[in-house]
Amino acid sequence: MTGATYDAGVLIAVERQDITVLGLHNDLVMRGITPVVPAGVLAQVWRGGSGRQAPVAQMLKQCEIEPLDETLAKQVGKTSKGLTSPDVVDISVVVGALGRGDQVVTNDAGDIKQISDALGGALLIYTI
């Protein structure tokens, strides 16, 4: 894996302290890979930094948060036009990952693949 973009399922798994996902994240970081978390993904999951979300807050210190700027927002909006059930956060995950050549780490491979296929991209998907 050259790069990794996380979707909401990864953050939820970390919140639940899923050892497989925590191991994957630690392996990426140990190999010098900084995982990317799109801002929309963080917004979907974040409810506060204490208690159950403390592991997520800790993990985020080792990630890059990708902002949803005007350029990305326009790409996402344009892409959503051609999809049957557009989820703008999932679209932002795919658009960003394709732009960087990242693999997407997800628990929702079906939706991610549908978006990638609609964009004509050859996206690698790692399902957790």
Domains and CATH numbers, the chain: 4-127 (3.40.50.1010)
Q: What is the pLDDT of residue 81?
A: 85
CA distance 110 to 112: 6
Q: Which amino acid is at 106?
A: T
Q: What is the pLDDT of residue 22?
A: 97
Q: What is the pLDDT of residue 80?
A: 86
pLDDT tens for the chain, residues 1 to 128: 579 999 999 999 999 999 999 999 999 999 999 999 999 999 999 988 678 889 999 999 999 999 999 999 999 998 888 787 678 999 999 999 999 999 999 999 999 999 999 888 889 999 99
pTM for the predicted model, two decimal places: 0.93
Asked if residue 11 lies in contact with residue 45, where contact means CB atoms within 8 angstroms, the answer is: yes
Q: Which amino acid is at 22?
A: L
Q: N- to C-terminal Cα distance for the chain? A: 14
